[in-house]
């Protein structure tokens, strides 16, 4: 059974940094594309960043490009999101998701059909 568990959220001031982690168990982590999503109060969930199973392709939302970096450590079955220059508008519940099928590319549409964690809260104050 696939389990996805996020961690690393917290409260920071604008301009600060956080590192989110996502541990996946119950599957061959290295074979699956992974992604980060977020949902702010009153807003729809949106894709933040995703990475292909080969690590060759990464995609970022325009709102975070240049500030956030996605990476994965296949030996640790862990996905990361390094968030720098945080803004109040980055405040949201951040979710990690694993693609449902293996060997997929970096695609928010595909990854969101897969397995999700419970989320970790990020709050950025001005």
What is the four-CA torsion angle of 5, 44, 62, 121, rounded to 10 degrees?
A: -40
Nearest-angstrom CA–CA distance, 55 and 63: 21
> What local confidence, expressed as pLDDT, does residue 69 receive?
98
Report pLDDT digits (tens) over 74-100: 999 999 999 999 999 999 999 999 999
Report pLDDT digits (tens) over 94-104: 999 999 999 98
Low-confidence ranges of the chain (pLDDT < 70): none
Cβ-in-10-Å burial (0-12, 13-18, 19+) of 34 comes to buried
Instruction: Quickly count: other Cβ atoms within 10 Å of residue 66's Cβ.
Output: 9
Nearest-angstrom CA–CA distance, 40 and 86: 15
Tokens of 53: 């199973």
> What local confidence, expressed as pLDDT, does residue 27 receive?
81
Q: In 3D, which of 33, 21, 2, 26 has the Cα closest to residue 115?
A: 2
């Amino acid at each position: 059974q696939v389990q996805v568990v996020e961690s690393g959220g917290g409260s920071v001031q604008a301009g600060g940094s956080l590192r989110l982690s996502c541990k996946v168990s119950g599957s061959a982590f290295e074979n699956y594309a992974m992604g980060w999503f977020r949902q702010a109060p009153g807003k729809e969930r949106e894709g933040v960043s995703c990475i292909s199973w080969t690590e060759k392709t990464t995609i970022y939302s325009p709102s975070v490009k240049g500030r956030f970096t996605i990476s994965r450590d296949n030996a640790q079955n862990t996905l990361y999101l390094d968030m720098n220059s945080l803004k109040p508008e980055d405040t949201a519940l951040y979710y990690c998701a694993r693609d449902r099928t293996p060997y997929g590319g970096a695609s928010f549409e595909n990854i969101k059909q897969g397995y999700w964690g419970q989320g970790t809260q990020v709050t950025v104050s001005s």
